[in-house]
Amino acid sequence: MTLKDKTAIVGVGSTQYWKRGQSVPETELSMACTAILAALDDAGLTAKELDGFAIYSSSCDPATVGSVLGVDEIRFAATLTSGGGGSAGSLGLAAAAIVSGQAEVVVSLMTLQQAKRRLGGTQVGDAPPASGGGGSPYGAGGIPPGMAFMAHSGLMSPGHSFSLLTQRHMHLYGTKREHLAKIAISQRANAIKRPTSIRKEPLTMDEYFNSRIISDPLCLLDYTMESDGAIAVITVSAERAKDLKQKPVYIMGSANGGMGRWGSAIFSYFQMPDEYFASSGHRPVAKRMYEMAGVGPKDVDVALLYDHFSPMVLMQLEDYGFCPIGEGGRFIDDGNIYYEGGSIPVNTHGGHLSEAYIIGMTHVREAVEQLRGTAVGNQVKDAEIALVTGGPAGLPVSGTLLRR
């Protein structure tokens, strides 16, 4: 038994997207409620019928949301572990809950407000941690014994981590900054056509190369922006989906996880075996996802690839089989990722780099809208199959194939 085609996404809802901190006086809870109610309404369902939460990256507390919204009965509340790597996989978790008969109307969501809490700064907080506790190695208090081995390395942010993977990829395969620039420029061109996008100014190669380097080889424009907002999607059984308001978007295949020794990989580990150090960590997930769906990369019409850092788009193009390992740069040079004339349009919504960063859920929303034929600005003609991914990050990372 697999999950293939047994469930469908039937509702999508969101708040607007804000620059970091600008959603105040909204809260993560208020935004979550807004997105969930909008998604239910989109599907023609109500809060009374909601009975499951399939989440990731601690996006919300189902106990709180359930009580605030007056949900009759929560029958399933589960999360994928770790962080943004679970965004696409939370759809598979929703499907698993439904196919196994545990719940009927399941929400997956992210709500994010980076007013006080900044994700990119998690390892460099200014507040000294309590003695002996976790937290920043640069605080005045104690650190966990294992952390002492890297506390003084100077590597302290996600950007530093992804710089290390990128540098190695460049060393092995001749990948160049020009390739990363083309990803950023392509996604900006897509974002410009959408009212939801936070970054709408055109981006040129000159501007890319004039932007400041944060940590070699990544410059400011290779980084995601920081933003606020919430997005929720509702998944139900394929059978139930037939009677609802929207054209169903079926979950063809979904996988989460990764090689055990990818582990926490970035941030503090870096002990991944040589053959997949310079990768997105997605290869085994891609294989299982395609096997479940019974299709391959050539069947995918649009790819929504998690892009907290531009080089991770390049490495996912390789790991999801759109091009051979090490060929990502050349694949991009050949124009394959562009909305106009590309063989596999990538991040038609502008992605984390240019539209907004809601930890992977903008990608899920765009995948659904592409398959409904309602994508704003960059509808891929007759799109039938969309790939959406979560991570690269510590495990699990995830990928999901959706079809109309």
Partner 1 sequence: MNNFTRGVTPVAQKDPYADDVTQPFWDATQKGKLMSTKCTKCATHVLPPQPRCFNCQNDKFEWVELPGTGTIYSFTVVRHPLRPGWDAVVPFAAGIIELDGTQGAGARVQANIINCDVEKIRIGDKVKVAWEKVSDTYTVFRFEPA
Verify whether residue 306 is a known catalytic residue.
yes
Cβ burial, residue 60 (10 Å; 0-12/13-18/19+): buried
Q: Which CB sits closer to partner 1, 132 or 296?
A: 132
- Positions in 133-152 near partner 1 (CB under 8 A): 137-140, 142-152
User: CB-wise, 154 or 341, nearer to partner 1?
Assistant: 154
Considering beta carbons, is residue 212 or 381 the nearer one to partner 1?
A: 212
Tokens of 87: 């965004």
Taking CB under 8 A as the binding criterion, the range among 131-139, 202-210, 226-234, 235-243 that sits at the site for partner 1 is 131-139
357 catalytically annotated: yes
Instruction: Give the residues across from 52 on adjacent strands.
Output: 76, 106
Nearest distance in Å: CB 281, partner 1: 14
**Distance of alpha carbon 265 from alpha carbon 269, whole angstroms:** 5
CA–CA dist 134, 152 (Å, integer):
15
User: Nearest approach, Cβ of 170 to partner 1 (angstroms)?
Assistant: 9
326 near partner 1, rule: CB under 8 A: no
**Residue 175 near residue 330, CB atoms below 8 Å:** no
Q: Is 164 in the site for partner 1 (CB under 8 A)?
A: yes
Minimum distance from CB of 163 to partner 1 (Å)?
4
List binders of partner 1 among 169-188 (CB under 8 A). Answer: 171
Residue (163 or 400) nearer to partner 1, CB: 163
Q: Shortest distance, CB of residue 81 to partner 1, whole angstroms?
A: 19
Does position 85 interact with partner 1 (CB under 8 A)? The reply is no
Window 255 to 274, contacts with partner 1 (CB under 8 A): 260-261, 270-274
Cα separation, 90 vs 108, in Å, equals: 6
Q: Give how far Cα 17 sits from Cα of 5, 66, 174, 230, 365, Å.
A: 31, 24, 37, 8, 13
- Catalytic site residue from 173, 208, 320, 357: 357
Query: Does residue 215 bind partner 1 (CB under 8 A)?
Result: yes
Site size toward partner 1 (CB under 8 A) is 45
Catalytic entry in 56, 276, 306, 339: 306
Nearest CB to partner 1, comparing residues 134 and 335: 134
Q: Using the rule CB under 8 A, which residue among 134, 213, 239, 340 binds partner 1?
A: 213
- Is residue 160 close enough to count as binding partner 1 by CB under 8 A? yes
CB of 104 to partner 1, least distance (A): 41
Determine if 284 is a binding residue for partner 1 (CB under 8 A).
Answer: no
The CB-of-121 to partner 1 minimum distance in angstroms stands at: 7
Among 21, 44, 121, 321, binds partner 1 (CB under 8 A): 121
Residue with smaller CB distance to partner 1, 154 or 202? 154
Q: How far is the CB of 280 from partner 1 (least distance, A)?
A: 15
64 binds partner 1 (CB under 8 A): no
| Positions marked active-site | 306, 357
Site residues (CB under 8 A) for partner 1? 121, 124, 126, 132, 137-140, 142-157, 160, 163-165, 167-168, 171, 212-217, 260-261, 270-274, 277
